[in-house]
């Protein structure tokens, strides 16, 4: 069984890199140099790990939500939202505080 909703937690480390992890995806640990890069990379790796766990390609992509170290939703530009939608992520709604959930 795969998750219908995946929350990816992102922290900025003192070394000025971003680290993404998730309780919903066993083994997900992604490190990138920028926030935009982590938002673009972490969902793809999460999907690959979920497919490996399931033993087959997923029939439906999970809803992916990002939280950042203080619990704020990711604030995304139109360009980034478009990139995520182009890669199969569903744009859900504008979240409180001006961020977006995808």
Total count of domains within the chain: 1
Judged on CB neighbours under 10 Å (0-12, 13-18, 19+), 67 is middle
Give the pLDDT score at 76: 47
d(CA 54, CA 70): 32
SS3 percent helix, strand, coil of the chain, rounded to 5, is: 30, 25, 40
What DSSP designation does 7 have? E
pLDDT lower than 70: segments of the chain = 1-3, 70-85, 87-102
The pTM assigned to this predicted structure is 0.65
Give the pLDDT score at 16: 82
d(CA 74, CA 76): 6
Task: Record the tokens describing residue 95, joined without a space.
Answer: 């979240």
Give the pLDDT score at 71: 38
What DSSP designation does 46 have? H
Structural domain range at position 63: 5-101
């Amino acid at each position: 069984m795969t998750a219908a909703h995946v929350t990816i937690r992102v922290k900025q480390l003192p070394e000025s890199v971003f680290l993404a992890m998730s309780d919903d995806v066993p083994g997900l640990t992604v490190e990138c140099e920028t926030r935009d890069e982590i938002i673009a990379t972490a969902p793809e790796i999460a999907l690959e790990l979920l497919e490996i766990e399931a033993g087959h390609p997923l029939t439906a992509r999970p809803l992916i939500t990002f939280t950042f170290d203080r619990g704020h939703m990711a604030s995304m530009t139109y360009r980034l939202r478009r990139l995520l939608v182009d890669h199969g992520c569903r744009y859900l709604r504008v979240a409180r505080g001006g961020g977006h959930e995808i």
